[in-house]
Chain A
Amino acid sequence: MSDLTKLTLAEARAGLIAKSYSAVELTRAHLEAIEKARALNAFVTETPEKALAMAAKSDERLASGQAGPLEGIPLAVKDLFCTDGVRTTASSKILGNFVPSYESTVTSNLWADGAVLLGKVGCDEFAMGGSNETSAFGPVVNPWRRREADGSIDPTPLVPGGSSGGSAAAVAAHLAIGAAGTDTGGSIRQPAAFTGIVGIKPTYGRCSRWGIVAYASSLDQAGPFARTVEDAAILLKSFASVDGKDTTSVDTPVPDYAAAIGKSVKGLTIGVPREYRVDGLSPEIAQLWDQGIEWLKAAGANVREISLPHTPYALPAYYIIATAEASSNLARYDGVRYGLRVPGEDIVDTYEKTRAAGFGSEVRRRIMLGTYVLSAGYYDAYYVRAQKVRTLIARDFEASFNDGIDAVLVPATPSPAFGIGEKSGGDPVEMYLQDVFTVTVNLAGLPGMVVPGGRSSTGLPLGLQLIGRPFGEEALFTLGHVIEAAAGRFTPEPWWQD
């Protein structure tokens, strides 16, 4: 990789302002890296011409002293954000040729702040998955590979996590300085952990959902990927806004998150929930967690064991709520107004054939399960009960916060990245268990950040997760920076360039 792709966002920004290189040069270096990394299949749509045109505009603004906070910074965007004039597929056949004539609020914010679009990156179809394998455009490959005991490299391709796997792979492989993702049950945090980078799912309502292809509206939230905690803080400030077009956007001013980096953690109290020490927790994950606790203690934080008793019920509640909302949200894909149409004998036959051909098997399964749990006679037993369980899970966290806990520290995932095909063949529930440490945060609407904390016995990155109070993102950046300073940064060998 060239020197310009090694830069952090903060470094690149300083270099652009100092005129050490131009925005066009910075963008071109990343476009060249993307060309050499096609083996990773990170991008669904590359937009090199648009990127260079945007970078040229950035150079004009830099020259006239009108640079925005992300001026000239090349980013990758999950193919779930609608981008004006740029194909937006949600990694689904049913939207394979959809070209929006409008821009999502989050990406509008990024371009208004001067960022450059490198292209749209792959994800699980409609963000439904934890491995990127449900994409209609083929799985994204993790830039990391396993190391054997003798130090040799195992060439088995690994998943980058999901659903925002393309975003995570692009940042980890230095194809983009940062990326936009979305997180409904762990879709930013799990891929960040699997690729050794930083990812944050903000508090529900912090980033506008307007213009993002909807999966489960009461759980979906956009957030950034970056290689450092500071870069993630800089990006989140641009992602977040108060938006009249999203009725769940919360009217709270956006703070300067980067100012929280480097603050002392003395006096902060960290909760360690005993329910996350699940049966069969792998020893290396337990060791990583203990190490994280030690780092925060050494920096002056107080650590206390807490109880979040309804944790075991989070995953089943999540799969009822998410599938129910998905069945309703995805009703719009009917082959009439946009997307694929498969002609049938009459209108209903056209709908049924279109949706059978346009959706992949995981999406069809989730829509059908959601339809079932919402159908007459089952609504109270499933959906209403799950929403009550959700209240209990939110109350667990609230009780801890009221009891003086500032943030909660848990592992990000139960294992490091697994091989493509290793978990996708059998029972869908096995894949769902990947989200065991992340879904609680979406159900309670809280912010959660993943920071790389160490390596597995096979040399793969492992992530630690910090969970904050509602709108407590600043504390997460302060604490995340402490972990980053102790754990260091994680960079894969660029084997894909061969």
Chain B
Amino acid sequence: MSVDSATITRVAHLARIAVDPAEVEKLGAEFNSMLGFVEQLASLDVSNVEPMTSVRPMRIKMRADEVTDGGYPNRIVANAPSCEDDFFVVPKVVE
């Protein structure tokens, strides 16, 4: 399988990464090299095999649904590139 420039541009947008049009061709070549490498998995018969969903077989942990932490908005926004009164500031989203 090989991907074209339109696919690279679409995937970049899905991943929310701006890609310079001049870079698309090189990225496509790298993508195709990596996809070619993983292609060998297609030759393996995996019918009747369950996908791994838990690395170590274990019962999923449950805990009480209660607040055990928090109450420090100043710490939460301390690393924000832009904030105002303990709120994150972003470009206008709704007109």
The residues of A with any CB-CB pair to B shorter than 8 Å are 97-99, 101, 203-205, 218, 244, 247-248, 250, 310, 312-313, 315-317, 319-320, 327, 331, 334-341, 343-353, 355-356, 359, 364-365, 367-369, 371-372, 375, 381-382, 384-392, 394, 427-429, 432, 445, 470
Q: Which chain B residues border A315 with CB–CB below 8 Å?
A: 37
**Complex Cα spacing A359 to B8, Å:** 17
**Complex Cα spacing A372 to B12, Å:** 9
**Contact with A338, one of B16, B30, B80 (Cβ below 8 angstroms):** B80
Q: Which chain A residues border B38 with CB–CB below 8 Å?
A: 316-317, 319-320, 382, 386
Q: Which chain B residues border A429 with CB–CB below 8 Å?
A: 33-34, 37
Which of A320, A338, A349, A368 has the most chain B CB atoms inside 10 A of its CB?
A368
Q: Name which residue of chain A comes closest to B60, CB basis.
A: A247
9 A-B pairs with CB atoms under 8 Å apart are: A247-B61, A248-B55, A248-B58, A250-B56, A316-B37, A355-B17, A389-B44, A389-B46, A394-B52
**Contact with B81, one of A101, A335, A381, A390 (Cβ below 8 angstroms):** A335
**Complex Cα spacing A340 to B81, Å:** 7
Are A368 and B31 neighbours in the complex by a CB distance under 8 Å? yes
Are A392 and B49 neighbours in the complex by a CB distance under 8 Å? yes
Extra pairs beyond A336-B90, A364-B17, A429-B33 (15, CB < 8 Å): A205-B56, A218-B55, A244-B63, A313-B40, A315-B37, A339-B79, A341-B82, A347-B90, A381-B42, A384-B51, A387-B51, A389-B41, A392-B49, A429-B34, A432-B37
Q: Which chain A residues border B88 with CB–CB below 8 Å?
A: 336-337
Decide yes or no whether B2 CB sits under 8 A from chain A.
Answer: no
Decide yes or no whether B78 CB sits under 8 A from chain A.
Answer: yes
Evaluate whether A368 and B27 lie within 8 angstroms (CB atoms) in the complex, with A250-B58, A351-B16 already known. yes
Q: Name which residue of chain A comes closest to B76, CB basis.
A: A337
**Contact with A98, one of B53, B79, B92 (Cβ below 8 angstroms):** B79
**Nearest Cβ in chain B — how far from A269, in angstroms?**
23
Q: Name which residue of chain B comes closest to A98, CB basis.
A: B79
**Complex Cα spacing A247 to B13, Å:** 32
Q: Which chain B residues border A355 with CB–CB below 8 Å?
A: 15-18
Are A356 and B18 neighbours in the complex by a CB distance under 8 Å? yes
Which of B8, B55, B81, B82 has the most chain A CB atoms inside 10 A of its CB?
B55
Q: Name which residue of chain A comes closest to B12, CB basis.
A: A368
Across the A-B interface, give the 9 residue pairs with the lowest CB-CB distance, nearest first. A387-B51, A338-B79, A341-B81, A445-B55, A356-B18, A352-B18, A316-B38, A388-B46, A371-B15
Are B55 and A204 neighbours in the complex by a CB distance under 8 Å? yes
**Nearest Cβ in chain A — how far from B64, in angstroms?**
11
Are A337 and B41 neighbours in the complex by a CB distance under 8 Å? no
Q: Name which residue of chain B comes closest to A369, CB basis.
A: B34
Are A203 and B56 neighbours in the complex by a CB distance under 8 Å? yes
**Nearest Cβ in chain A — how far from B30, in angstroms?**
6
Q: Name which residue of chain A comes closest to B8, CB basis.
A: A368
**Complex Cα spacing A197 to B11, Å:** 41
**Contact with B51, one of A101, A364, A388, A470 (Cβ below 8 angstroms):** A388
Residues 49-83 of chain B: 1 if any A CB is under 8 Å from the residue's CB, otherwise 0? 11111011010110100000000100111111110
**Complex Cα spacing A319 to B41, Å:** 11
**Nearest Cβ in chain A — how far from B10, in angstroms?**
8
Q: Which chain B residues border A346 with CB–CB below 8 Å?
A: 91-93
Evaluate whether A390 and B52 lie within 8 angstroms (CB atoms) in the complex, with A99-B78, A336-B88 already known. yes
**Complex Cα spacing A388 to B45, Å:** 10
**Complex Cα spacing A218 to B58, Å:** 14
**Complex Cα spacing A319 to B49, Å:** 20
Q: Which chain B residues border A384 with CB–CB below 8 Å?
A: 51
**Complex Cα spacing A229 to B93, Å:** 56
**Complex Cα spacing A346 to B16, Å:** 13
**Complex Cα spacing A344 to B92, Å:** 11
Q: Name which residue of chain A comes closest to B93, CB basis.
A: A347
Q: Which chain B residues border A394 with CB–CB below 8 Å?
A: 52
Decide yes or no whether B14 CB sits under 8 A from chain A.
Answer: yes
Are A313 and B55 neighbours in the complex by a CB distance under 8 Å? no
Evaluate whether A371 and B33 lie within 8 angstroms (CB atoms) in the complex, with A250-B58, A389-B46 already known. no
**Nearest Cβ in chain A — how far from B87, in angstroms?**
11
Are A391 and B91 neighbours in the complex by a CB distance under 8 Å? no
**Nearest Cβ in chain B — how far from A75, in angstroms?**
25
Are B81 and A319 neighbours in the complex by a CB distance under 8 Å? no
Are A392 and B90 neighbours in the complex by a CB distance under 8 Å? no
Are A365 and B56 neighbours in the complex by a CB distance under 8 Å? no
**Complex Cα spacing A197 to B30, Å:** 34
**Nearest Cβ in chain A — how far from B53, in angstroms?**
7
**Nearest Cβ in chain A — how far from B86, in angstroms?**
12
Are B63 and A337 neighbours in the complex by a CB distance under 8 Å? no
**Nearest Cβ in chain B — how far from A357, in angstroms?**
8
Are B52 and A387 neighbours in the complex by a CB distance under 8 Å? yes
Q: Name which residue of chain B comes closest to A427, CB basis.
A: B33
Which of B12, B16, B30, B91 has the most chain A CB atoms inside 10 A of its CB?
B16
Q: Which chain B residues border A390 with CB–CB below 8 Å?
A: 51-52
**Nearest Cβ in chain A — how far from B79, in angstroms?**
4
**Nearest Cβ in chain B — how far from A436, in angstroms?**
12
Q: Which chain B residues border A364 with CB–CB below 8 Å?
A: 17
Q: Name which residue of chain B comes closest to A382, CB basis.
A: B38
Are B11 and A375 neighbours in the complex by a CB distance under 8 Å? yes
